[in-house]
Structure 1
Amino acid sequence: MADGVKGIGKFFRDVVQEMKRVSWPTRKELTRYTLVVLGTVLFITVFFAIVDFGISTLVRELLG
């Protein structure tokens, strides 16, 4: 059991060490990335809404 506890401790020390190596984005970069993601989600939402509307209209016309 002591080996398991030591293993967990080593794991968390390694996590802290790796987090220090991470290259974190600046506030400006983070804002830009967030806007890109939101813009992409908005574009895809509108695209699929239009496609859905078109397909539902086509099916409605075919079924009469």
Structure 2
Amino acid sequence: MAEAKKKPNVFSRIGSFFRSCVGEMKKITWPTPKTTTKNFLIVITVILIAGLFIYALDRGLYALLNLVMATGTH
């Protein structure tokens, strides 16, 4: 009967996990501060434009609703 492979103990598995995490972290290409700032400004701009669009749509639909409701009361 062939002896079954024993699982490494919990501490060696944890150590192996963290060694592989460090190896993966070294593979990451981090953005430069200039790229991060540019992307941040793009995101803020898109959020502001979307917010203004939603605000204008809300105001317009509210005005349309008031117009329809006012027409029915006269």
Higher normalized helix content (fraction of residues): 1
RMSD, aligned CA: 1.7
State which drifts further: 32-41 or 8-17. Answer: 8-17
Judged with a 3 Å threshold, the aligned counterparts in structure 2 of structure 1 residues 22 and 62 are, in CA distance, closer, same or farther, namely: same
Q: Which has the larger radius of gyration?
A: 2
Q: Percent identity?
A: 33
1:1-64 correspondence to structure 2 within 5 Å: 3-64=9-70
Structure 2: runs of 5+ lacking an equivalent = 1-7
- Measured in 2, the distance between the counterparts of 1:21 and 1:30 equals 19
TM-score (norm 2): 0.71
Post-superposition CA distance 1:5-31 (Å, at most 9, x none): 544443333222211111100010000
Alignment-mate amino acid for residue 41 of structure 2? L
